[in-house]
Amino acid sequence: MTHFDLNQSDLRSLQDKVVVLTGSVHRTSDGAQMLIFDQGGANGIGEATLELFNSRGAYVVFGDINSTAGEKVAAKYDSKRVHFLRIDVSKYEDIVALFRLALSEYGTVDHAFSIAGILEQENIFDPSLTIESVEQPPSLVVLDVNLKGTFYFTRVAAAYLHHNAKPTDDKSITFISSVAGFTGTPYIPAYVASKHGVLGLMRSLRTYLPSVFQIRINAICPHSTATAMIAALEPRFRKYGVGLNSPGDIASVILGVVAGRHKRRGQEGVGATGVEEAREPCNGLAIFVAEGRAYEIDEGLDRTQSEWLGEDAVDCIERSSLIWSPEELITNK
C-alpha cells in the first residue's frame, strides 16, 4: 500500500475554478429526515470540502435535500461565490438542475464531487424474515442514494465538465466510496454493495473518461469519520482504540487528488533507485483514509496481482482488456 501525502507546494491553483458537490440525507430510525452534508451534519465531509475549496478561491455550487440547513450553510459565504440548490441525488433531473445552475452562474464547471451517502435504513436480512413477510420488497433507498445517485451524477458531470472545454483545461470527478467499498463489513449489506459499486464505477471509468472526455476520476475510501453518521458508534471506536478521521482529513485528500500530483501508475519504488519519480495529476486512484493517514490501495493490488491471482490468469485478463480499450470501442462501434 502506497502512502498518499499532500504536498502543499505541489498544488495547482484553484482560484476561480468552479466546483459542484452533493450532500445527502440521513433517515433516523423513525423515518424522519435530517441533513447530513455528505455523511455527517453541518460539520461533515461535504461542508469541510466546501470550506476548504472556498478558502482556496474556488466557486462552489452544492446541493442537498434539506433546504433550510443548506441555505444556512450557504449564508456563511459570499453569495457570489457559493450557491445552494435543494436536490435529491436519486432524481436525475435534480442532478441536471445542479449542474445547470453552476453553468448559468459561472459559464463552466471544472471539478465535481459526489459525496452523498447514507447508511442502512433497515435490516434487509432480518432474522424474523418469513415466506410471508418476504413477499414485500425491501427499501433500496441506500442503493438509490449511494450508487444510482453516483451514476446519475457522473453521467451529468461528464457532459458539463466536457462542455466547451479546451485541451489544456484540467477537469476532474471525485467519488466518496468507503472502507466498506473494498472490505466485507458485516450487517450493512446494502451500504457495502453500494460502496463496492462506487469504487467499481471509478475503476471502470479511469481509462475511459480521460481518453474520451479528458476528465480525471478518483475515489476516496474513508474509514470511520467523525460525522453524525457514526456518532452513536464512537464509544465503540474509543473502546478498541480506533482513531476517527476528521471531516477535514477527507476534505484535504479530496484537495490532494484534485489539485495535487502523484507518481505515475507503475512507478512504485522508482524514487528509491535514485531515479526521479514521474509525477502527474491524479487519475484512477483509490485512496483509503484511516486515522488521518491516506493510502493508495490499487497500486499494491496491481503490483502483486500475479502473486495472488496467478500469472496465467493475469495474462488472460491483460489480453482481454484490449477488447475493452477506449480505442477499440470507439473504432468498432
Summarize pLDDT for 175-217 with one digit per residue, the tens: 999 999 999 988 899 999 999 999 999 999 999 999 999 999 9
How high is the pLDDT of residue 265? 54
Q: What is the mean pLDDT of the chain?
A: 86
> Which residue(s) pair with 289 in the sheet?
222, 294
What pLDDT does residue 121 have? 85
Task: Please state the separation of Cα 268 from the chain's center in Å.
Answer: 24
DSSP characters over 65-76: S-HHHHHHHHTT
Residues of the chain under the 50 pLDDT cut: 24-43, 268-276
Q: 22 pairs with which residues across the strands?
A: 63
* Predicted local distance difference test score (pLDDT) of residue 264: 58
Q: How far apart are CA 115 and CA 198, in angstroms?
A: 11
In this predicted structure, what is the pLDDT of residue 274? 39
Output the pTM of the full model.
0.88
Longest dimension (CA), the chain: 67
Rg of the chain over CA atoms, in angstroms? 20
> What is the C-alpha separation between 25 and 241, in angstroms, rounded?
29
The pLDDT value recorded for residue 278 is 61
